[in-house]
């Protein structure tokens, strides 16, 4: 068993850390306040040029071929500075991976390089609907073949990067008579397609720089060739591919949790109460010890899931374990960090309140903690039966 990173993985981690410190950290608070949106876009472009939008993508399509471990490391380092940027990087990588796994050669060569290079700032997933969140098989958006075109009708919600995405990976019902979850197919919908409407931007608690919008399909016509993968096989694809996204969001949570605790630990070394630095008090020391231990456990869970994915081994259970533990740990880390700072942690003069808001969503998107526990228990019981 060798837990050391390869030279390439170390280089990617170091590059991500240095970029985050130099480019992302100085502007993160302003982006959270809705300032300098162009800086957010500029940083996405720079990250694409550094190869961070296709870390697990083959070189022939413009990717870095660095693997799932490198992807996890990069997202963690980026999230330590800016969670909004990190979630965009995570989603872009997963969009590219889905296209690489299921797309035709023409689809791969058209869309993957576009995202990897930064020509398109983002890709986006269109899965969640008002009545189909944790239960995506209950979606109502339909796709009907009309001659040489598919006609999409319906809506999607909570779509990250929607206004600046160049392509959307969209799930829709293609056989309304099939049993629930059996008649769903997968499509690639280009931005600007007739009948595709970008709806309202959600006013969110955190991750403000990352836009989250509704998608509307009003007789949206796309080519027959926009179908990706096998007809009526889209739900199985959704279930399978979300595992990789859970590694990404778990890594994001880890990054935010580490940022919160790093700030709180440094603060404890400087803050004086009762004539002592508060880092000398056992109550503070135990918070620091407990949270760094939990964050290290989260890191190891993420590395295990990413390693299994790289090896082509089943990793759904491991990804869910990593995701639920890392994201819930991130929320606890932010809570404890705020407790260490006291009243200052609750103010916008310090980054802890932003970290706390940014971390909260991580236990919800890419599958709630409750859904992760269902997956974990299902897999364990299946293995024991």
Stretch 230-240: mean pLDDT: 84
307 pLDDT above the threshold of 90: yes
Give the pLDDT score at 239.
76
Give the pLDDT score at 236.
82
The per-residue pLDDT of the chain, averaged, comes to 96
Give the pLDDT score at 255.
98
Q: What single string gives the DSSP state of each residue in 102-159?
A: HS-HHHHHHHHHHHHHTSSSEEEEE--BTTBSS-GGG---EEEEETTEEEEEEEEEEE
Give the pLDDT score at 11.
98
Range from 16-25, 47-56, 65-74, 233-242 carrying the lowest mean pLDDT: 233-242
Residue 77 among the catalytic residues: no
Give the pLDDT score at 73.
98
240 pLDDT above the threshold of 80: no
238 pLDDT above the threshold of 80: no
Between CA 74 and CA 80, with CA 75 as vertex, the angle to 5 degrees is: 100
Between CA 52 and CA 63, with CA 58 as vertex, the angle to 5 degrees is: 25
186 pLDDT above the threshold of 80: yes
Say how far apart CA 336 and CA 343 lie, in whole Å. 13
Structure tokens at 130: 């008002």
Stretch 344-356: mean pLDDT: 98
Percent of residues, the chain, with pLDDT higher than 70: 100
Which sign does the torsion angle of CA 20, 351, 118, 75 carry? positive
Say how far apart CA 232 and CA 129 lie, in whole Å. 18
Say how far apart CA 313 and CA 326 lie, in whole Å. 21
181 pLDDT above the threshold of 90: no
The one catalytic residue among 23, 318, 328, 366: 366
Stretch 73-101: mean pLDDT: 97
Q: For 181-192, b where at least 16 C-beta lie within 10 A, e where not — what string?
A: bebbbbbbbbbe
Give the pLDDT score at 241.
72
227 pLDDT above the threshold of 90: yes
42 pLDDT above the threshold of 80: yes
For residue 172, report the phi and psi dihedrals to the nearest 5 degrees.
-150, 155
Give the pLDDT score at 237.
77
242 pLDDT above the threshold of 90: no
Identify which of 256, 239, 238, 276 has the alpha carbon closest to the alpha carbon of residue 338. 256
């Amino acid at each position: 068993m060798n837990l050391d990173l390869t030279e390439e993985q170390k280089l990617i981690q170091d590059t991500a850390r240095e970029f985050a410190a130099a480019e992302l950290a100085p502007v993160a608070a302003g982006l959270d306040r809705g300032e300098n949106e162009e800086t957010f876009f500029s940083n996405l472009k720079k990250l694409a040029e550094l190869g961070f939008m296709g870390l697990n993508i083959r070189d022939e399509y413009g990717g870095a071929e660095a693997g799932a471990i490198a992807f996890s490391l990069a997202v963690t380092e980026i999230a330590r500075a800016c969670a909004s940027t990190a979630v965009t990087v995570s989603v872009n990588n997963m969009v590219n991976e889905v296209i690489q796994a299921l797309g035709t050669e023409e689809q791969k060569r058209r869309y993957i390089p576009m995202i990897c290079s930064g020509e398109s700032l983002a890709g986006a997933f269109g899965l969640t609907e008002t009545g189909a969140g944790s239960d995506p098989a209950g979606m109502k958006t339909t796709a009907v073949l009309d001659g040489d075109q598919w006609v999409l009708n319906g809506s999607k919600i909570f779509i990250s990067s929607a206004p600046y995405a160049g392509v959307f990976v969209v799930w829709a019902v293609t056989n309304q008579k099939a049993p629930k979850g059996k008649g769903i197919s997968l499509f690639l919908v280009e931005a600007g397609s007739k009948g595709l409407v970008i709806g309202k931007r959600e006013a969110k608690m955190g991750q403000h720089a990352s836009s989250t919008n509704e998608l509307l399909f009003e007789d949206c016509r796309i080519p027959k060739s926009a179908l990706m993968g096998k007809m009526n096989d889209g739900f199985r694809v959704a279930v399978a591919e979300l595992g990789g996204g859970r590694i990404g969001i778990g890594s994001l949570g880890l990054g935010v949790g580490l940022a919160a605790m790093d700030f709180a630990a440094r603060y404890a070394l400087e803050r004086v109460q009762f004539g002592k630095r508060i880092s000398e008090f056992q109550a503070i020391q135990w918070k620091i010890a407990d949270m760094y231990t939990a964050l290290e456990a989260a890191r190891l869970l993420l590395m295990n899931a990413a390693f299994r994915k790289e090896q082509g081994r089943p990793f759904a259970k491991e990804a869910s374990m990593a995701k639920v533990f890392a994201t819930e740990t991130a929320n606890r880390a932010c809570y404890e960090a705020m407790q260490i700072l006291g009243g200052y942690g609750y103010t916008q003069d310090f980054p802890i309140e932003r970290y706390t808001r940014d971390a909260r969503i991580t236990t919800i998107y890419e599958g709630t903690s409750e859904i992760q526990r269902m997956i974990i228990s299902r897999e364990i019981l299946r293995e024991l039966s």
